[in-house]
Amino acid sequence: MRKVLLFPLLWILFVTSAYAEVDFNSAERPVDAMSTEVVRIIPVASKWYAGGAIGIADISDWWYPQNTVVDDYYRSVGYSHTNGYFWNLMGEIKMYAAYRMREYMDIEFGYSLSDMTLSTTYENGSDTVWSNREVSIHALSASALLRPEEGYGHLVYLKFGGHVSQLQISKRVTGSPANLNTIAAGDNIPEDGISTGVGGLIGVGVDIKTGKLGAIRMELNQLFSVGGTSICKNAFNVGFQINFN
């Protein structure tokens, strides 16, 4: 927990120091008033843009060993796993707004929602049980995007930041056994329910400019400690962003 809290503090310190260096429309003038040196105007370093994206995601640390927990339980009560997998890709939507503080650094604030449905079938003779779970992840994030200065490779960036997220897993067990309620009571994984917490994030992406209007963005990122648990979410998004100035 100390490491999780330390990361956002270091990030805030970094952003604050960078912001202090921004010189908005300032001019460099020669010391000698008689000098013919041309005054150089430093352009405004800030720029707002916002966008949205869709993508796919998965949960990297949950499936092992957690994917075997439910199977092991049903096996212990005489059932076999006959259909469905305790793994699936999540659909994801994302919205974000960003502020370009310098040519090599943007500050981004974002929101993402990822969800999926898991359905697994277990059988014991003529009895069948369906174990279903709805999994959703809400995340608010703040991050710094670092990229090479204008020139080759400027469109590529690295992302570092933190997030506040909520993990929600809703269980539903249906089937034909007479003792279904007893069976359902034992169908549990540690992350069932609602968990909220903070964590870090890293990512890499590219902005493909489409003129002055904006850019197409492709990004691969990872969120650590989703909902304050040991779960990490990996996501790939494609979207479009619009420049405001």
> Taking a C-beta distance cutoff of 8 angstroms, is the pair 85, 130 a contact?
no
Lowest mean pLDDT among 35-39, 139-143, 201-205: 35-39
Token pair in block for residue 24: 């908005």
Instruction: Please report where in the chains the tokens 């604030």 appear, as a residue.
Output: 109
The amino acid at residue 73 is Y
Q: Which is more confident, 30 or 207?
A: 207
Give the mean model confidence (pLDDT) for residues 183-195: 92
117 three-class SS: strand
> What pLDDT, on a 0 to 100 scale, did the predictor assign at position 68?
79
Task: Tell me if 38 is assigned to some domain.
Answer: no
Backbone angles phi, psi at 189, to 5 degrees: -130, 155
Give the mean model confidence (pLDDT) for residues 61-80: 79
Give the mean model confidence (pLDDT) for residues 41-54: 74
Strand-pair partners of 205: 157, 219
CA-based radius of gyration for the chain: 25
Query: Per the structure, how many domains does the chain have?
Result: 1
Q: Which is more confident, 242 or 63?
A: 242
Task: Tell me if 33 is assigned to some domain.
Answer: no
Task: Tell me if 72 is assigned to some domain.
Answer: yes
Instruction: Please report where in the chains the tokens 């994302």 appear, as a residue.
Output: 94
In this structure, what CATH number is given to the domain that contains residue 239?
A: 2.40.160.20
Q: Which structural domain, as residue segments, surrounds residue 8? A: 2-21+47-243
Strand-pair partners of 145: 106, 159
The sign one gets for the Cα dihedral 8, 10, 16, 18 is negative
- d(Cα 191, Cα 66) in Å, to the nearest integer? 9
Strand-pair partners of 68: none
> Taking a C-beta distance cutoff of 8 angstroms, is the pair 145, 106 a contact?
yes
Q: CB atoms < 10 A from the CB of 182, how many? A: 10
Q: How far is CA 73 from CA 2, 8, 79, 81, 185, in A?
A: 35, 40, 9, 11, 11
pLDDT in tens, 103-160: 889 999 999 999 999 888 999 999 999 999 999 999 999 999 999 877 656 789 999 9
Task: Tell me if 30 is assigned to some domain.
Answer: no
Task: Tell me if 26 is assigned to some domain.
Answer: no
Q: CB atoms < 10 A from the CB of 6, how many? A: 11
pLDDT in tens, 48-65: 999 999 999 998 776 555
How confident is the prediction for the chain on average, in pLDDT?
82
> What pLDDT, on a 0 to 100 scale, did the predictor assign at position 60?
78
Task: Tell me if 28 is assigned to some domain.
Answer: no
> What pLDDT, on a 0 to 100 scale, did the predictor assign at position 67?
62
Task: Tell me if 85 is assigned to some domain.
Answer: yes
For the chain, give the percent of residues with pLDDT over 90: 58
For the chain, give the percent of residues with pLDDT over 70: 76
Count Cα neighbours of 178 within 13 Å in the Cβ-side half-sphere: 0
Task: Tell me if 39 is assigned to some domain.
Answer: no
